[in-house]
Amino acid sequence: MFPQFVERLKYRLALPLPGINAHFQMAHLYRRQHFAYRNEPADANQGSVLILLYPSETDIRTFLIVRSDYDGVHSGQVAFPGGKFETADIDLKTTALREASEEAGIIVSEVEIVGQLTKLYIPPSNFVVHPFVGITQQQPAFSPQNKEVKEIIEVNINLLLDNTIIGEKEILLRNKMRVMTPYYDIKGHTVWGATAMILSEFRAILLEMEPASL
């Protein structure tokens, strides 16, 4: 099952991506009104995240992390592993792999990058995030970095196709504005903002693939 899924995924990721239309399905109204056509500023930080897919005994999974509480924009939020590009990184793909290793204990040599999703600018942190999709042939032995990661959430990718996990509720933004925001309920965790927007594009791709391949 997994090898066939990987081949179909590689093929789909090589085609034009759903892009901003998929992003905006999970963006709150303020984001859609004020940043729909905004170009990323020249001084924006560059970073990347990793969507890692792997087989378990019964299904295909990915994982998210719950960030530790800290004095920062993304404190306590659910996210894909990732972070800022550093000068020692060869490229943004290297950044995604390094961060996944540091944050969740992923073994970099076991990961194959099979494609990339549409980059996304995040105004509150002035970051351009580049999502990479990777696979590994076995379920990782997670070793979360306690300083940065509170919890690892493993997710059966079929759960991402379930419309009942999509909701909308009021969320307090960092600028103290309250907005009605689309979100995913992933095992009781609220996944919103940039992570939900990236997940929306990945979900759109999965929905285009034949159910038999999942």
Please report, for the domain that includes residue 14, its CATH number.
Answer: 3.90.79.10
Mean pLDDT calculated for residue range 19-42? 78
Q: Is residue 214 part of a domain?
A: no
pLDDT of residue 146: 85
pLDDT digits (tens, 9 = 90+) for 77-103: 899 999 999 999 999 999 999 999 999
Give the Cβ contact number of residue 147 at 10 Å. Answer: 8
Q: Is residue 27 part of a domain?
A: yes
Phi, psi of 63 (to 5 degrees): -145, 155
Domain extent, residue 74, equals: 2-205
Q: Is residue 213 part of a domain?
A: no
Per-residue confidence band for 213, with pLDDT thresholds at 50, 70 and 90: low
Packed helices 193-208 and 2-13: angle between N→C axes, nearest 10 degrees: 110
Q: Is residue 115 part of a domain?
A: yes
Residue 76 reports pLDDT greater than 60: yes
Q: Is residue 210 part of a domain?
A: no
Percentages helix, strand, coil for the chain, rounded to the nearest 5? Answer: 35, 30, 35
Q: Is residue 175 part of a domain?
A: yes
Number of structural domains (the chain) is 1
Q: Is residue 212 part of a domain?
A: no
Is this structure's pTM higher than 0.95?
Answer: no
Per-chain mean pLDDT for the chain? 90
Q: Is residue 211 part of a domain?
A: no
pLDDT of residue 214: 65
pLDDT digits (tens, 9 = 90+) for 154-186: 999 999 999 999 999 998 776 677 888 999 999
